[in-house]
A and B are shown apart, each in its own frame.
Chain A
Amino acid sequence: MSAFEYAPALESTSIVQIAESYKLFINGKFVAPKSGKYFPTINPATGKVLAKIAEANSKDVDLAVEAARNAYAKVWSKMPAAERGKYLYRIARILQERAREFAVLETLDNGKPIRESRDTDIPLVAAHFFYHAGWADKLQYAGVGSAAKPYGVVGQIIPWNFPMLMLAWKVAPALAAGNTVVLKPAETTSLTALLFAEVCQQAGLPDGVVNIVTGAGSTGSAIVNHPGIDKIAFTGSTQVGKLIATAIAGSKKAATLELGGKAANIVFDDAAIDEAVEGIVNGIFFNQGHVCCAGSRLLVQENIHDELLEKLKVRMSHIRLGNPLDKNTDIGAINSESQLQKIQELTAAGDSEGAERWSVPCELPAEGFWFPPTIFTGVSQTHRIAREEIFGPVLSVLTFRTPQEAIEKANNTPFGLSAGVWSEKGSKILWTASKLRAGVIWANTFNKFDPASPFGGYKESGWGREGGRHGLSAYLKGGN
């Protein structure tokens, strides 16, 4: 017996300079908020305040929309499409050059492990800008006809789970299509969006093409209800998505909504079991489970349930929870106290409804917000933890007997964002995928993203797609 303890391998934070307070980014400049108000953003791994962030009120949003409108009418819509593309290429290259800085800042503000922000989030961010840069002068092939036109000013509201990646998913296609943008990052994770504002300046992007207004729900509401906005793009909870849909009903505004999910990860008895275990772990514990397409419902064929669970627990015991800046950390901090409370509330419901809880026996840091990787076995379809999105590192394990039953259970949810299928039999994978009501289906893998691949859901998981040609066309109006 020995002890191969991994000594701390901390990523240096010296590459980022965090200011004491941050202003709004409107018309190419950082400006103090008319509201005069600021709110703190904290590092969820320590609970300590990182900086103060400006809170935009409706007057600030007015200014941002006005700047975006001017930029659209006078500069961005007049510019040759290939020139627009050049700005996007330039932004993509700067993002790559400053990748380490973005990764560290994302980890500090969000709590996700540096390995993920460094190896997944930020490389994908740059990839989205590169991908869409190429589209800027080819919009007639985006699928809405040869006279494809931008909407104009787009209001974009993004969540805290992948702050920069969601910004890229929103901003890159909007700009490539020729729209200008008023973007609101989530109130707990504004810092990388504000660093992105610097990148826009560095790239020489014309003033007003990208405007970033920080704040919480009321700022978002000011954007959604603003008459000067032509289209809303939102990623977040189904609850807020419904409010937005209600608010814009009857208006001229178009919308795309990326909402919640409760993905089924279906493991058949003929799966490559060790890699299925790996995929289950990746599906639910990636990014602390703060993933709308997380594989939060494991549907395992009953005849391999015990074997699979045993292997899963062994694998989970190797998950390293701790300081997100440590390069060996696999699972970081829960993004906020309120999210932690939500996870605690739902898992308590799992206990009281009779499911059996098992958590990785690991020490949780004393400060900040943490939740151990957890699985519930003996879960049935009626349990809240099988129906509601937990948005945390919590897996509900259900069983099925036949492929038909797997499909019935997988589709028996108000959501329909993603699903996973694990089998070595190609015909079974295709049969299953064709029956699943989910926007993204992964076969023998999970949580794989690519700018060329459309992403979006059925039912309460949202409207429209992001990524690929389908995502681009959501930022274009057809013409004759």
Chain B
Amino acid sequence: MIIDTSESSLKAFLRTLPAVDEVGVNARAAMLATRSIKTSSKSWAIDTAISMVDLTTLEGADTPGKVRALCAKAVRPDATDLSVPSVGAICVYNDMVKVARQTLDQIGGKDIPVAAVATAFPSGRASFKVKAQDTQDAIDAGAAEIDMVIDRGAFLSGRYGEVFDEIVKIKEICGESAHLKVILETGELVTLDNVRKASYLAMIAGADFIKTSTGKVTPAATAPVVFVMLEAVRDYYSATGTRIGVKPAGGIRNTKDAIKQLVLVNEVAGPEWLTPSLFRIGASALLNDLLMQRMKMRDGYYASPSYVTLD
């Protein structure tokens, strides 16, 4: 796609990307939000969405107890119904990776990966040395997925080479041990043209996933942003034959929103992306709403929130 990875050729390449017309994207995303997903397709979508949740806690107040509780929820989201699938991953800060990994291994969640946010999450304002160590720590503690943030300051001032090099180096640290998700923090990039450019920068630099947001900035995973990122992975696949995953995070709180995301995946990137290995939803509150909707589909009535667990 590009001649070399120098600053100037990256810049030249990003300029060749077609522009994004925001009005058009908003209209198409709004139209797709009117898709009516009912009965059997709703059941399928709920279970698929549960299996795609990166169950997340990213608080200063996180404790080992909180993380252990979240792990239990991740393995068996609904203790009364074992047909509910496990979630896609647990997502924590790197000092919580060890306890998360140990807990999951102990309670039958060996297959559930632990994702760690890294590289001075959420702002990314630290020296590269610190970012690299942050990543290495997470991997050493057992993280199988690294959610790194890009340097938005560098991106916005046009220093694409810096953004690119950081991703490349973090990818090297991940090596074979961890998947790399690159957080664009689209709420700070603001325009959809920037979203498209940053998506390509991350994909070319070696991202396995591109992720919308840290969850600490609003707006986060809006439909137009996810739409443009899904177009980017679709077009990258048709140019290179490699499928990159997409992870919206932040602001997806209920089943309706989650299903709208799946519709976007289905009709923009294509049904091939409807798998946890290529699409994840970063969320915390969403899981309980999915469970309540699932109960409604099963029982025919809405249960009280007391029937789903708070962890």
Give residues in A with beta carbon < 8 Å to B: 1-9, 115, 119, 270-275, 278-279, 310, 314, 318, 327-328, 424, 444-445
Contacts and interface: CB of A to CB of B under 8 A. Distances in A.
A444 B35 contact: no
Interface residues of B, number: 32
26 contacts: A1-B271, A1-B275, A2-B48, A4-B45, A5-B40, A5-B41, A5-B44, A7-B38, A7-B42, A8-B38, A9-B36, A115-B34, A271-B18, A272-B19, A272-B20, A272-B21, A273-B18, A275-B20, A275-B24, A275-B25, A278-B24, A278-B28, A327-B34, A327-B36, A328-B36, A424-B19
Contacts of A271: 18-19
Contact residues of B: prevailing secondary structure: helix
Interface string B213-247: 00000000000000000010010001000000000
A445 B28 CA distance: 11
Contacts of B267: 318
B37 interface: yes
Contacts of A310: 238
Nearest to B227: A274
A115 B30 CA distance: 12
Nearest to B20: A272
A271 B21 CA distance: 9
Interface in B126-185: none
B47 to A, nearest CB: 11
Given A7-B40, A275-B20, A328-B36, 17 more contacts: A1-B275, A2-B48, A2-B274, A2-B275, A4-B45, A7-B39, A272-B21, A274-B24, A275-B21, A275-B24, A275-B28, A278-B27, A328-B35, A424-B19, A424-B21, A444-B21, A444-B24
Interface in B1-55: 18-21, 23-25, 27-28, 34-42, 44-45, 48
Contacts of B35: 6, 327-328
A6 B24 contact: no
Nearest to A311: B235
B18 A4 contact: no
Contact of B24 (A4, A5, A279, A327): A279
Interface string B261-281: 011001100011011000000
Contacts of A1: 271-272, 275
Contacts of B27: 278
A273 B38 CA distance: 33
B24 A445 contact: yes
A6 B41 contact: yes
Contacts of A327: 34-36
A273 B262 CA distance: 24
A270 B266 CA distance: 28
Contacts of B23: 275, 444-445
B34 A119 contact: yes
Contacts of A279: 24
Contacts of B263: 4
Contacts of B231: 274
A274 B34 contact: no
Nearest to A317: B270
Contacts of A270: 19
- Which 6 residue pairs are nearest across A and B when measured between Cβ atoms? A275-B24, A9-B36, A272-B21, A275-B21, A327-B36, A7-B41
Nearest to A273: B18
B267 to A, nearest CB: 5
A4 B38 contact: no
Contacts of B21: 272, 275, 424, 444
Nearest to A318: B267
Nearest to B270: A314
Nearest to B263: A4
Please indicate which of the listed interface residues B18, B28, B274 has the most CB atoms of chain A within 10 Å of its own CB: B18
B246 to A, nearest CB: 15
A277 to B, nearest CB: 9
Contacts of B39: 7
A112 to B, nearest CB: 15
Contacts of B266: 4
B38 to A, nearest CB: 5
B269 to A, nearest CB: 11
B168 to A, nearest CB: 28
Interface string B249-271: 00000000000001100110001
Nearest to B275: A2
B18 A272 contact: yes
Interface in B52-75: none
A6 B271 contact: no
B245 to A, nearest CB: 15
B274 to A, nearest CB: 5
B274 A9 contact: no
Nearest to B44: A4
Contact of B262 (A4, A8, A274): A4
B169 to A, nearest CB: 32
Nearest to A423: B19
User: Which of B36, B37, B44, B234 has its CB near the most chain A CB atoms (within 10 A)?
Assistant: B36
Contacts of A424: 19, 21
Contact of B18 (A5, A274, A278): A274
Given A7-B40, A7-B42, A274-B18, A2 B271 contact: yes
A327 B35 CA distance: 7
B281 to A, nearest CB: 15
Contacts of A318: 267
B243 to A, nearest CB: 12
Contacts of B37: 6-7, 9
Nearest to A330: B31
B228 to A, nearest CB: 8
Nearest to B234: A314
A444 B45 CA distance: 34
Contacts of A278: 24, 27-28
Contacts of A6: 35-37, 41
Contacts of B271: 1-4
B236 to A, nearest CB: 14
Contacts of A275: 20-21, 23-25, 28
Given A278-B28, A327-B34, A4 B274 contact: yes
B277 to A, nearest CB: 11
A3 B41 CA distance: 9
A215 B266 CA distance: 45
Contacts of A5: 40-41, 44
A8 B37 CA distance: 8
Contacts of B234: 314
